[in-house]
Chain A
Amino acid sequence: MAHICAFAEKMAAARRYRTMTEKLDFEYHKKGWFLESALTYCEAVEGLAEALQTTPLASRGLQGLREYLLAYVQSPAFRLLADEARRVKVGLAAVKYSLIIQTGRFSVRRYEQETDYSLEVEKTFARFKQGAAKDYRVNLYTGTGMNHIEAKILEFVVRLYPEPFAALDRFCERHADFMDATLLTFDREVQFYVAYLDYIAPLQEESGLPFCFPEMGEGRQVEARDAFDLALAENLRYEGAAVVLNDFELRGAERILVITGPNQGGKTTFARMFGQLHYLAALGLPVPARQARLALFDHLLTHFERQEDIRTLRGKLQDDVTRLYDLLQQASPRSIFLFNEIFSSTTLKDALFLSRKIMTRLLELDVLGVWVTFLDELAAFNEKTVSMVSTVVPENPAERTFKIVRRPADGLAYALSLAEKHRLTRTHILERIRP
């Protein structure tokens, strides 16, 4: 993996230099970058060849690549390219010249061991420096590029030192097309695998989490075992914590998972996970679960609570209802939806009224989905809804297990235990704020 990444980086640089030469105006500037491109390319190819030689490979694809690469690196054409490029570079690097700049005029000569004048200048003006004065020394731009003055200087340098440039000319003529087409294709295609594997590799290796290729179907029967939220797992990995694995299943007439239970119990994560599994599966990637059967879908519709926005000039409730209306317009029986705590900005009575209306519409549409809510009444809506509850450690209600299990809603939100945890009961606050 690391070798492929190093290869890809160098190849990118080599290609960049190569493309750059096409846009450059001055002959030896162009040729200089052409040489850099060739040098970088040689490094990339040799580096990968050497690495693959000592790496045990299982896949036929990469074994084939190794064989090809080793033959290529030893070919006389490639050897000639690499050796000559390095020889020419050494010759150019040895050139040292002097530049005399006057107003509107400059001269170029061979360097003749003149002494460093900056040190003397610095000494002369040191007395004007103040203690904490701002430093006005400019961090001079040293990026690439050449203007016509620099080109003119280079022209003079070529006249002063003709030999190394003649060698460069010969090199450019001989190796006009040095990049191998097969290696270029490999470089491009391997990126997709590299990116996804890069992301999930530490989760598999460090955190020991399961991934699988899901079974996909048109049916409305879905299930997953030991599934998890990829993004949360990644975050927890940095903290060295383990993500909790959860299962879900919708069978027969069941369509909607209604999640209730204590806050901070993993309900939102569960909804996100359900959506993620389907989304990743649709991309053809292995999903974060031990085993899964998932549904194909046309739209994945989500409504997670948003912040109030002054610019819409509408109340939050109307925003919510309008967004839901828009979502329902897009939905078909092949859609999947995720709702998270909608209608929490209104009274209990209104929230229930609105939720029942929306639920009825969803069930008529026969969509699949997850609805996170604190309204226990929704959990037992009818035979198409399945109640799942986030659970707590029985002996300590403030501690969550992050397990979401199939079970009737029990109406305990444990909110006060949370307040206790944050030291926000009346007694706590009085202790915390000094009179």
Chain B
Amino acid sequence: MNVFLLYPDRNFDPQTPLPPNAEDLTQDLALETLWQAMAQGDKFLFETARLVTLSGSQEMEVIRYRQEILQDCLKNPATVRALYQIPIEAIENKQRCWLGIFSHYPAGILSSAVEMLEMLVGLLHRLRQIADEHAAEFESPGFRRFFAMIQQELDDTCFAEMEAHLRQLRFREGVLLSAELGPGNEGTNYVLRKPNTPDGLMKHLLSRKSPTYSFTLHPRDDHGARALGELRDRGVNLVANAAAQSADHIDGFLTLLRRELAFYIGALNLHEQLAALGHPIAIPQLHPVEERRHTYRGLYDVCLALTMRKRVVANDGDADGKDLMLITGANQGGKSTFLRSIGLAQVMMQAGLFVPAEEFAANLCRGLFTHYRREEDASMKSGKLDEELKRMSDIVNHLRPNALVLFNESFAATNEREGAEIARQVVDALLERHIKVVFVTHQYELARGYHERRAPNVLFLRAERQPDGSRTYRVRPGDPLPTSHGEDVYRKVFGKEG
């Protein structure tokens, strides 16, 4: 049985290696904030959000498939959450059986394996019930296929068969162990033994003459019963193994279901929080990788919005037909925030999520890469510029035409003239290879160079600054200016005395 809620033709494999730029993306786009919002404290939701967003698809077909499922989810949140409860309950019950008191002890595994199979069958009944009651309310091909499969293929006779097996496998007689004294006179070297009576029965062994000391636990001595169980486990380890493996079959399917639904649950969580804060969302319009599209209305930095817990500045813009967006302007003017909002929207779009905007349309990209300034290299071997160039070189190793690269204050760890020259050479080469570039810089030299060329495929944006020095944090079309207003900041911190 297959789940197929993330891809039309395959299951999601959480073992798929993440793209090489995953770590940079996470750091530069503050993706953890996004995942936390999707996870709401749930580690599994977090991990799923992380894996799916980082390994976004480049195929329109896959993204549309998810967008349609997502729209079903947004329409039927209660049903989807109820569906998600099924594997969750399986996990929780399993954790109670597996990881609770008896989890480290084979006797516990053995007896709970039977219990678990009963529990699983119950949950599968509920799964089919949901399918029977709600399948008609879902429109996406993904959900329609899923529910049809549940209705057709789910059959619990095989579980009944397994249950019969397990009943036989139960180890009903007491166990006989041999042991020695280890450090601290603690029992060690436990070996399960067969009573050496002719019929192998314990009662015959016990009736034989040999000094024997017996002890009966108080009926309420749970701790003692557990301790005794621990010793018993040393004999039934392998039995428990066989029983538990039988339960894996159903469990595997529910794990898949949980993994794939978790992504949409994350989306629902995120949507609820954004809605509560009054932020809009949009299902993005997809354009092929070869096109150059970027039209956005009310685009905001979703991570900043989630961090500040209030409305944040949104930007409108139209960069259709542009290969390079060059953003200059005031320090603390919202350049980095804007760049992050562009990056986040791209990541979310390619994962099949909605995007943080009122309207959003963009071309897909063959890989999103970020190149941000970093702190001192921990290995101490490289200077800062060298480290930046090394990272750039790593990015170039993975670049293909129609990728998208976001630069934030790159190549500024040297003097402005040389930094601008390096940046210009890199950007020129990327544009020539049809790679889309968004570059945030305070380096006037670099911006001026492109400005003087007046190329039609370059869009200049500037962080807005009012004549009185205050910022609106909006990024608008605007030509580069030769200062970043460091004096403002100095006076604000040091006061007039400076």
Cα(A159)–Cα(B214), bound, Å: 12
Q: Is B390 an interface residue (CB 8 A)?
A: yes
Question: Is A67 part of the contact surface with B, judged by Cβ < 8 Å?
Answer: no
B319 interface residue per 8 A CB criterion: no
Known contacts A118-B191, A345-B442; A93/B181 CB under 8 A: yes
Whether the Cβ atoms of A140 and B245 lie closer than 8 Å is no
CB neighbours (8 Å) of B333 from chain A are 315
- Which A residues lie within 8 Å of B412 (CB)? 344-345
Annotate B222-243 by CB proximity to A: 1 below 8 A, 0 otherwise. 0111011001111111111111
- Enumerate chain A residues within 8 angstroms of B195, measured Cβ to Cβ: 114
Given A125-B238, A317-B331: A424 and B109 interface contact (C-beta under 8 Å): no
Q: When each residue 372-411 of chain B gets 1 if its CB lies under 8 Å from chain A and 0 otherwise, what string results?
A: 1111100111111110011011001101110000000101
Residue from the list B190, B241, B331, B381 in contact with A346, Cβ < 8 A? B331
Contacts of B419 in A (CB 8 A): 415
**Which size bracket describes the interface of B in this complex?**
35 or more
Residues in B whose Cβ lies below 8 Å from that of A349: 482-483, 486
| Minimum C-beta distance from B493 to chain A (A) | 5
Which residue of chain A is the closest to B375 with respect to CB atoms?
A307
Q: Name the residue on A nearest B191 (C-beta).
A: A116
Proximity string of chain A (86-124) to chain B, C-beta cutoff 8 Å, 1 when within and 0 when not: 000000110111111111111111111111111011100
Residue of B nearest to A32 (CB): B185
Measured CB to CB, the nearest residue on chain A to B445 is: A348
Residue pairs across A and B with CB atoms within 8 Å: the count is: 382
Q: Inside 8 A of A423's CB, which chain B residues have their CB?
A: 393, 396
Asked if A385 is at the interface of the complex by the 8 Å CB criterion, the answer is: no
Min CB distance A125 to B, Å, is 4
Query: A424 contacts B392, CB within 8 Å?
Result: yes
Given known pairs A137-B237, A149-B224, A347-B416, the reply for A32 and B186 (CB within 8 Å) is yes
Partner of A28, one of B185, B239, B414: B185
Contact A350/B484 with A107-B206, A344-B412 known, Cβ cut-off 8 Å: yes
Q: Of the candidates B216, B383, B432, B482, which one forms a contact with A265 in the assembled complex, judged by CB atoms under 8 Å apart?
A: B383
Query: Could you say which of B61-69, B87-95, B150-158, B422-430 contacts chain A?
Result: B422-430
A188 at the interface (CB under 8 A from B): no
B148 within 8 A of A: no
Tell whether A345 pairs with B194 under 8 Å between CB atoms, given A101-B231, A140-B233, A231-B380: no
Once bound together, how far apart are the Cα atoms of A267 and B383, in whole Å? 8
Residues of A near B400 (CB, < 8 A) are 433-434
* B415:A348 contact, CB within 8 angstroms: yes
> Considering the chains assembled together, what is the distance between the CA atoms of A89 and B449 in angstroms?
85
In whole angstroms, what is the CA distance A128 to B165 when docked? 10
Q: Taking A313-B308, A429-B433 as given, write out 4 further A-B residue pairs in contact, using a Cβ cutoff of 8 Å, ordered by the A residue number.
A: A100-B176, A153-B187, A310-B307, A345-B412
Closest 6 CB pairs of A and B: A350-B486, A315-B332, A32-B185, A264-B383, A102-B174, A429-B429
Taking beta carbons and an 8 Å cutoff, which residues of A are in contact with B? 17, 28-29, 31-33, 36, 92-93, 95-118, 120-122, 125, 128-130, 133-138, 140-142, 144-150, 152-154, 156-157, 159-160, 229, 231-232, 235, 262-265, 267-269, 272, 304-308, 310-311, 313-318, 321-322, 325, 340-341, 343-351, 353-354, 357, 374, 411, 413, 415-416, 418-419, 421-430, 432-435
30 pairs of residues in contact across A and B, judged by CB atoms under 8 Å: A29-B184, A92-B185, A105-B214, A107-B212, A108-B212, A110-B211, A114-B194, A114-B196, A121-B192, A125-B169, A129-B242, A129-B245, A140-B234, A147-B224, A147-B227, A154-B185, A263-B386, A265-B383, A306-B375, A307-B375, A317-B484, A325-B494, A343-B486, A353-B487, A374-B413, A413-B385, A429-B429, A432-B396, A433-B430, A435-B401
Residues of B within 8 A of A (CB): 30, 33, 104-106, 109, 165, 169, 174-181, 183-188, 190-196, 202, 205-206, 210-217, 219, 223-225, 227-228, 231-246, 248, 303-304, 307-308, 331-333, 336, 372-376, 379-386, 389-390, 392-393, 396-397, 399-401, 409, 411-416, 418-419, 421-422, 425-426, 428-430, 432-435, 442-444, 482-487, 489-490, 492-494, 498
